[in-house]
Structure 1
Amino acid sequence: MALPNDKKPSKLSAAQQKALLAKRLNRKAAAPAYDAIPQRAQNSPCPASFAQERLWFIETLQPGTAAYNIGYQFHLRGDLNAPALEQSLNTIVARHEGLRTCFDMMNGQVMQIIADEVTLPLLMEDLQGISMAEQAQQVKALVEKERQQPFDLKQAPLLRAKLVALSPQENILLLNMHHIISDGWSMSVFNHELSTLYAAYLKGESNPLPELTIQYADFAVWQRQWLQGEVLEQQLAYWQKQLGDNPPRLQLPTDHNRPTLSTFQGQRRYLHLPGSTLEALKRLSYQESSTLFMTLLAAFKVLLLRYTQQTDILIGTPLANRLRKEIEPLIGFFVNTLVLRTDLAENPTFRELLQRVRQVCLDGYAHQSLPFEKIVEVLKPERALNRTPFINVMFVLQNASNQAFQLEGITAEALRVQQNTAKFDLTLQLVEKSDGLMLVFEYTTDLFETATIERMAGHYQTLLESIPENLDTPLAQLPLLTDAEHRTLLTEWAGSQTNYPRNATIQRLFEAQAQQTPEAVALVFEGTPLTYRDLNHKANQLAHYLQSLGVKPGDLVGLCLERSLDVVVATLAILKAGGAYVPLDPHYPHERLAFMLADTQISVLITHQSLREQLPPFEGHLVSLDTLWPDLEPNSTANLTVDGAAEDLAYVMYTSGSTGQPKGVCVTHRNVVRLVKNTNFACLSPEETFLQFAPISFDAATFEIWGPLLNGGRLVIFPPQKPSLELLGQFIAQQRITTLWLTAGLFHQMVDHQLDQLQGVRQLLAGGDVLSAPHVHKVLNQLPQTRLINGYGPTENTTFTTCYPIPTDWPEDMAVPIGRPIANTEVYILDNHLQPVPVGIPGQLYAGGDGVARGYLNRPELTAEKFIANPFGPGRLYQTGDLARYRPDGNIEFLGRMDNQVKIRGFRIELGEIETVLSQHPAVEQSIVMAREDTPGDKRLVAYVVGAEASVPDLRQHLQQKLPDYMIPAAFVLLESLPINANGKVDRQALPAPDTTRPDLSEAYEAPEGEVELLLADIWQEVLRVEQIGRHDNFFELGGHSLLAVQIVSRLQQDYQIELALRFLFEYPTIAQLAPVVEEIILSELDNE
């Protein structure tokens, strides 16, 4: 495929044609035949270029930043002529207007102000006569001081030079210039001219450089005139097609929340790839009619795909933008940012992806003349103070590192300048060297830890090394992890095994315990104890009766009872008879109970006489156990001889289903035994007293009942009535409960209101939802003797999958992880293609091992979908639907449900992230964030907050300080408590709609109030060219953008002498929000008069 204005080669071999193509692709696109850029009419202030406007805006937003300083450091050895060097520098400044330019706002537009003459002093620093160690230390300090010193864009020159003398034959030259007047190409021009001039002046000759035909300001004026009408429409047409659909942001997982305003603080990490890898990649590029840039970019997009699971990926890359001959010798800020958007959907092979990337690059090169800033202005993407529009990741390939200029009689060596800034979230710069490829990862420390970037660099290296041999491998299967990471994730962290009775059944283990400790108290209910012997006898009597009703191995038996002694006796009896119990909550609606009875086809249902009227019609044996006991007295108390196996069903427990009908989870004996025998997450011993509080239809009851009874402990059953917090607290203290399970919702309430009553609890397990860090902190502080454990696990993996014993010094503002797999359990965090994800990268949590249930009752298709073959070993894995990631220490962080992702205003949002930040507010006890669409088409974020001291303005301001605008809930609902369902979890369905919904702008109009609001409205109307602006209308929703924001600030300063910082318009984007800020400024200025 030929590029614009390329001539097709004739009479060339295929190999020669391919080589020529590669050469042309490396050159990007040929320059179109334009008329020469004319010199501007007069040497007066002229508009800044589009690119310069953007940097002016950033500087205005954060004055004093050194993020866009470009620093160079050269080690000069030889007899240096400092006056000749200084003369050369000043000749370059005199030769290039751009180096004599400063900037200011005039009539709402950023202007270049070019001085006729500017002197650049070569500052001298003499370090001769001190030790080399002292010299090195002082040079380092000088470099750091120079790096951090900002430029004032209103003062020329935006260039500094300093010469540090180490000895008569050794000097360090420091150069620093602002990016607004220079770029990478410019530095090559600068080096060449400095070398040429120094050689001439050293010999006493005059300036040998040819006159420049135009200057940078000529280009800036021409650029604005050229980009109009048909030219602009032609260029825009492509970019509107590419980016006009509000493409999704790249959501790289980060270590820290994104700050409201970027600090530009950054670091760099370096990695060197050997020449053999580089040559293999070059051969691949040649074979695929591609370029090295395209191949490396495609590999980088694979890395981002595997890190984010996003298949629509946008990356920026800088182009020199020197397509015209007359601008090649200029020093100035010409570089343009090209947005490269690639579709990685349907898991293509790398060969297929490379062709996609190639085409996107070629198309982009053909439309590179349109400035990135102009694209942003026209397409109006979502704006935020802490992000660049469209892109937050850059990719750069340099054919060679910056070479120092060659000074006559001097050996010059370019030194690596330590960069502590980052303009984007992440920039990958690849430098082609003679011995291989240097990878430079520049990252913002606002978001990333060093270890995260080092892992990322290793993963990119793994990809680059494997791709040449795996061209036809789908992207999801390309090697990513190192061998060491594979061992860690798939072996060391996946789970551990203990020696437990995995082939035993529940009833046989209980019978062995009853034989071992027959006189020990097994149960206490309403003050009446029951020994292990008596419990075993009663269960045997009922089991014999069940057999007489026809219950045989494999049969399902219904159990519809309130908390009582009979619950435990009946579950044990059903198991002894060879059956499996089906817990049915008597408080469930008739329709739900009827479905469960029909789904299980049970023929025997155990209940109490008082509950019979609450049951739907039932045609089988309805056993009223409370009235049956006298009839069971003659039955044998001997253990039954029914043979059973660990693979047999123990119970079927129903959970909610996405179809609206509950689904029955089939749990085996081995699943339960693995939970409570010889485990590692809690001490389950005869000395422990457990509370049985959970409904029998909730899988926490599995742990509560069998945890003590299969280990010789004592189980105290809470009375059947619904308790108050006070009653529950008193009961826990009076019964001396030592091991307690609470759902997260109940845990928070007990900590708030009954914490003193938990003083005797040795092991407090809580979970089922996210634990509030402040509540955790309160328990750790006030109950130092209590071991607090965060428990996580779906019913399909039998109650607990992972647990985390929380250290006593856990920080109050840090989310609590869910820990590591409990004994005889496996956990993997995998991507959409069942590949393990690296540390810190979100993926779906899969549970394996001996806790995985058999599947769903009568739901073979759903079972096959959710219970899959383990790709890493024997057995099966359960697909939890939960989003999680590994922390560097191997503990797992729960991130929310996979379906807890929402898209608002084109941004993909994890609701859990907002909840985490909300929970860090001291007044917030609990919080839930939902995306609601109470009015069709109007999807909004709504935050539900529990906290007596919480106020909506404070909460909104708190979030605005930590989250971007699109993640701020549109409404806040303050509640006394979050609604809890029967299983003790937050009932999201019961959360109320907010009082009002957000109408569109025309319907929500509210006139400005007061003089300041009216003043602001007038200015906004003129700048935005909108006739009607209400006090609650958002500046950016009205079409405002960064440059118009600058005009607003400029108008306030010029017309009313009000010095408003630009950032306030972003932080307070409505007139009602901004007016108090302006009033405060006015009052402050009046006070100072």
Structure 2
Amino acid sequence: MEKVPLSDAQIEIIQLQEYYENTSINNIAGIVNIKNKVTISEIEKALNNLIKNHDSYRIKIKKENSEYEQYISEHKDKNFNVVDFTNDQEEYRHWIDEQVSKNIFSINSDLFEFTIIKLPEGKTGILLLQHHVISDGWSMTIAVNTICNYLIDGTKTETLEPSYFDHVREELKYKNSERFKKDKQFWIEKLENFEDNELFKKNATNCAQGDRQSFNLTDAYTVKLLTFCEKNNISISNLFTTAMIILKYKKTLAEKISVGSIMHNRNKKMEKELTGAFSRTLPIIVDVSSNNSISDLLTKTKYESFNLLKHRKYPYRKIIEDNGSKSGILDCMVSFQNKQYDSKIIENGYSDEWLDNGSNNTSLAISISNRNRDNSLAIDYDYQVAVVNEKEITDLHNFMLKIIETAIENPNKQIKDIEIISEDEKRTILNEFNNTEMNLNNTQTFVERFENQVAQTPNQTAVTYEGDSLSYSELNVKANQLAHQLRHKGVKANHLVGIMTNRHLEMIIGIYGILKAGGAYVPIDPNYPSERINYILTDSNTYALLTDSVLDTSIEFNQTVINLKEDINTSIQPTDNLSYTTNMSDLMCIIYTSGTTGKPKGVKMPYKSVMNNLNRRINRFDISSNDNILFKMPFTFDPSIWELFGWAIVGAQATLLPSGEEGNPEIITSLIQMSKVTMAVFVPSMFIPFIDYIKSTKQAHLLSSLNHVLVGGEAVTPKLVNQFNEWIGKKTTHN
């Protein structure tokens, strides 16, 4: 028994299998519908004929010492399962979904499953389910041709002399050739200065769950499209790839645009008759300028497609190893399946249905085909549901057709003059989104508004933390005492005062005291590394620092330090309100960025912008003294500003989540229930596990007090909103 290494295509498929373990990510599935009456025995003979004469169906995978190898087993005729779904459409669809979404990869076992089906309408069909490591889209068409020809006239396929293993041996020779070195250099040069051009921003969750939308072009439109391609000597693939390049450019403005192209990779005539994992995806990379015409880009795409053909043997994983991982190389793929079924198969009434396996390893894959030899093109959009939603796919399809229509009607039109928004969207943007006029009370600072509220509701509970609470009057008194102390230390308008505490009552007192003294607060997470803390203190020229613990010796700060929990001087200060020293143009806070792209940068926020945002939200969500807002955001992020101040100018209440519990859905749920929280704010990365927790524990009833959930800071998908509505109930959800 000969054992050989995996081909490059197979290696990439196995890597995918290991990354998305126990999923259907590599399943290729389809139904062959048989029109004429044939017996089960004849179908079994046709299937065995396929397996015997195409040795890729007899490939088994071995794994020894973490290394994969493959061998071809001897053929033995098989019996195949027969499943009857006569007059049971619902059970049939359920069964199909189960079959195509299961993992069929197994060591030393068949990597396909063929099942004979009695279809609901009484006809016969065959489910062809095969693993990508032994098959590809081209192979599927060969398989259907082979099976149907046998059933129509008993045509037996002669055992093919060439084997899939011949392809593997050719690859091994290539890796030791001069061509391999030239191909490597080509890809290094091609990816030089490549920048991010992702069409869709992915979620952090590496979820392969996918879906498919399919469209059929009309006969007339297909003829129009094919005529244009023939006239301009370009392929269908060139045209659709160019449309995607234009779409990506308009969305990203990157000067190098990459679109994945699926290569059938069958170089020799005989290989085109073989089944097996030949195909692979490589990027077509085109330099784009807004001054390019569509015709210019069609020419560039065609040229780069020829380049791709010349250098297609070089494995994609090697491209990544040589150049590093770059965003957007293969986030969108386009392929044209030009392998067709034999004409007599169509004439005898045989048909097929290609099935979606429910998984996708890339954000978007567009497949154009005409397997059935009719007069129209079919377009399948396979996409990851965590990245793209159904409406976005529909819009994208319409944009693609709009760009193609423009190319046909006016190929000399420049890219900068192409619009990719609909008239309805344009009207919405111009008329609705810009209609933001609102009468807001933006003439008073936060301190003025807060003190007015204290006068109205002195005994109303203002803030609660782990069973302890302060009324509006008590909070005002403590903040005043701290403010007097800071004024005594010299704090004036626009002086920056750092505050480095965990989330508790003293944090609120500290921030309010800084503002009452006339200063602007600079929030610092006490868990930051000392180097970052020292940088912020030095860069901001902080006048004083408030803490809730003894300052670590690694912190370099020689100005005033006040421990909010232990400083006895604060409690002996006056309790009356201070004179106002700030106005709407003065600073309220400076929040430092994360510094992921360099050193952290301080973002200045004046009262004017903060109060405008607070007043807008209060008006939009009708926040009143009946509300209880959950303060759970780290105060070093700007979304915390709403949680810190919004409630305090309308007589509402704030409930504080202990620091470090932001990712604990159990604690958050309990706090919402116990405190009767009416509004909570999430970022999607924290919202997802929160919904998952509610879903798994079935505790939605504990959230009955919630009226509003605000989700933002990252992309919010309709799927996420739908899950929230499904598992938590009909709540008011805003993005």
- TM tier, shorter chain? 0.5 to 0.7
Aligned to 1:966: none
- RMSD over equivalenced CA pairs, Å: 5.7
Q: 1:80 aligns with which of 35, 38, 55?
A: 38
Whether the 8 Å contact between 1:72 and 1:417 is mirrored in structure 2 is: yes
Q: Distance in 1 between matches of 2:196 and 2:707?
A: 34
Could you tell me how far 1:69 is from its partner in structure 2?
1.7
Aligned to 1:171: 124
Q: Which amino acid aligns with 1:761?
A: G
SS at 2:113 equivalent:
strand
Does 2:211 align with 1:251?
Answer: no
Q: Which amino acid aligns with 1:87?
A: K
Whether the 8 Å contact between 1:121 and 1:161 is mirrored in structure 2 is: no
Summarize the Cα distance change of 1:71–1:890 in structure 2 as closer, same or farther, 3 Å threshold: same
Whether the 8 Å contact between 1:100 and 1:156 is mirrored in structure 2 is: no
Q: Distance in 1 between matches of 2:406 and 2:241?
A: 15
Larger radius of gyration: 1
Summarize the Cα distance change of 1:196–1:457 in structure 2 as closer, same or farther, 3 Å threshold: closer
Does 2:159 align with 1:221?
Answer: no
Q: Distance in 2 between matches of 1:587 and 1:170?
A: 77
Aligned to 1:138: 91
Aligned to 1:394: 333
Correspondences of 1:630-779 after superposition (within 5 Å): 680-681=619-620, 745=635, 761-762=651-652
Q: Which amino acid aligns with 1:212?
A: L
Whether the 8 Å contact between 1:79 and 1:169 is mirrored in structure 2 is: no
Whether the 8 Å contact between 1:84 and 1:198 is mirrored in structure 2 is: yes
Could you tell me how far 1:105 is from its partner in structure 2?
2.6
Correspondences of 1:177-256 after superposition (within 5 Å): 177-201=130-154, 209-243=157-191, 245=192, 247-254=194-201, 256=203
Correspondences of 1:378-417 after superposition (within 5 Å): 379=322, 381-382=324-325, 390-399=329-338, 403=341, 411-417=349-355
Aligned to 2:415: 475
Could you tell me how far 1:334 is from its partner in structure 2?
1.2
TM-score, length of structure 2 as denominator length: 0.62
Give unpaired runs (5+ residues) of structure 1: 1-42, 202-206, 508-520, 528-559, 564-583, 594-649, 690-735, 767-771, 791-805, 820-836, 841-888, 894-1089
Correspondences of 1:450-465 after superposition (within 5 Å): 450-465=390-405
Q: Which amino acid aligns with 2:162?
A: I
Q: 1:90 aligns with which of 45, 48, 52?
A: 48
Whether the 8 Å contact between 1:319 and 1:337 is mirrored in structure 2 is: yes
Whether the 8 Å contact between 1:349 and 1:472 is mirrored in structure 2 is: yes
Aligned to 2:357: 419
Deviation string 1:61-106 (CA, Å, 9 cap, x unpaired) is 5543322121121222322133233223212222222221101134
SS at 1:368 equivalent:
coil
Deviation string 1:365-413 (CA, Å, 9 cap, x unpaired) is 222233334444x526349xxx9x952332112347x648956996322
Could you tell me how far 1:150 is from its partner in structure 2?
2.9
Q: Distance in 2 between matches of 1:394 and 1:408?
A: 29
Summarize the Cα distance change of 1:784–1:223 in structure 2 as closer, same or farther, 3 Å threshold: closer
Summarize the Cα distance change of 1:272–1:238 in structure 2 as closer, same or farther, 3 Å threshold: same
Summarize the Cα distance change of 1:481–1:778 in structure 2 as closer, same or farther, 3 Å threshold: farther
Whether the 8 Å contact between 2:60 and 2:107 is mirrored in structure 1 is: yes
Whether the 8 Å contact between 2:261 and 2:281 is mirrored in structure 1 is: yes
Summarize the Cα distance change of 1:333–1:562 in structure 2 as closer, same or farther, 3 Å threshold: closer
Could you tell me how far 1:654 is from its partner in structure 2?
7.8
Does 2:256 align with 1:361?
Answer: no
Whether the 8 Å contact between 1:120 and 1:161 is mirrored in structure 2 is: no
Q: Distance in 1 between matches of 2:152 and 2:53?
A: 17
SS at 1:459 equivalent:
helix
Whether the 8 Å contact between 2:203 and 2:386 is mirrored in structure 1 is: yes
Does 2:327 align with 1:430?
Answer: no
Whether the 8 Å contact between 2:365 and 2:382 is mirrored in structure 1 is: yes
Q: Which amino acid aligns with 2:241?
A: L
Does 2:388 align with 1:448?
Answer: yes
Summarize the Cα distance change of 1:166–1:751 in structure 2 as closer, same or farther, 3 Å threshold: closer
Summarize the Cα distance change of 1:427–1:147 in structure 2 as closer, same or farther, 3 Å threshold: same
Deviation string 1:945-968 (CA, Å, 9 cap, x unpaired) is xxxxxxxxxxxxxxxxxxxxxxxx
Deviation string 1:644-667 (CA, Å, 9 cap, x unpaired) is xxxxxx986689999x99999999
Whether the 8 Å contact between 1:257 and 1:447 is mirrored in structure 2 is: no
Deviation string 1:1000-1036 (CA, Å, 9 cap, x unpaired) is xxxxxxxxxxxxxxxxxxxxxxxxxxxxxxxxxxxxx
Could you tell me how far 1:483 is from its partner in structure 2?
2.2
Q: Which amino acid aligns with 1:66?
A: S
Q: Distance in 2 between matches of 1:410 and 1:664?
A: 73
Q: Which amino acid aligns with 2:332?
A: V
Q: Which amino acid aligns with 1:392?
A: D
Summarize the Cα distance change of 1:350–1:146 in structure 2 as closer, same or farther, 3 Å threshold: same
Aligned to 2:104: 151
Could you tell me how far 1:224 is from its partner in structure 2?
0.7
Q: 2:261 aligns with which of 317, 323, 334?
A: 317
SS at 1:321 equivalent:
coil
Q: Which amino acid aligns with 2:324?
A: P
Aligned to 2:527: none
Could you tell me how far 1:748 is from its partner in structure 2?
11
Aligned to 2:524: none
Correspondences of 1:38-49 after superposition (within 5 Å): 44-49=2-7
Whether the 8 Å contact between 1:256 and 1:448 is mirrored in structure 2 is: no
Q: 1:55 aligns with which of 13, 26, 36?
A: 13
Aligned to 2:79: 121
Summarize the Cα distance change of 1:435–1:783 in structure 2 as closer, same or farther, 3 Å threshold: farther
Could you tell me how far 1:152 is from its partner in structure 2?
4.0
Q: Distance in 1 between matches of 2:615 and 2:70?
A: 75
Does 2:711 align with 1:809?
Answer: no
Whether the 8 Å contact between 1:297 and 1:395 is mirrored in structure 2 is: yes
Aligned to 1:304: 248
Deviation string 1:863-889 (CA, Å, 9 cap, x unpaired) is xxxxxxxxxxxxxxxxxxxxxxxxxx9
Q: Which amino acid aligns with 2:8?
A: F
Q: Which amino acid aligns with 1:258?
A: T
Q: Which structure carries more relative contact order (alpha carbon 8 Å, separation 6+)?
A: 2
Whether the 8 Å contact between 1:506 and 1:673 is mirrored in structure 2 is: no
Percent identity of paired positions between Structure 1 and Structure 2: 16
Q: Which amino acid aligns with 2:204?
A: N
Question: Number of residues paired by the alignment?
Answer: 567
Could you tell me how far 1:746 is from its partner in structure 2?
9.8
Q: Distance in 1 between matches of 2:705 and 2:142?
A: 61
Q: Distance in 1 between matches of 2:642 and 2:614?
A: 30
Deviation string 1:819-878 (CA, Å, 9 cap, x unpaired) is 9xxxxxxxxxxxxxxxxx9999xxxxxxxxxxxxxxxxxxxxxxxxxxxxxxxxxxxxxx
SS at 2:362 equivalent:
coil
Correspondences of 1:624-1023 after superposition (within 5 Å): 680-681=619-620, 745=635, 761-762=651-652, 809=706, 816-817=711-712
Deviation string 1:911-970 (CA, Å, 9 cap, x unpaired) is xxxxxxxxxxxxxxxxxxxxxxxxxxxxxxxxxxxxxxxxxxxxxxxxxxxxxxxxxxxx
Aligned to 1:338: 282
Whether the 8 Å contact between 2:7 and 2:171 is mirrored in structure 1 is: yes
SS at 2:214 equivalent:
strand
SS at 1:195 equivalent:
helix
Deviation string 1:328-371 (CA, Å, 9 cap, x unpaired) is 22111111222212223456333333333222222112222333
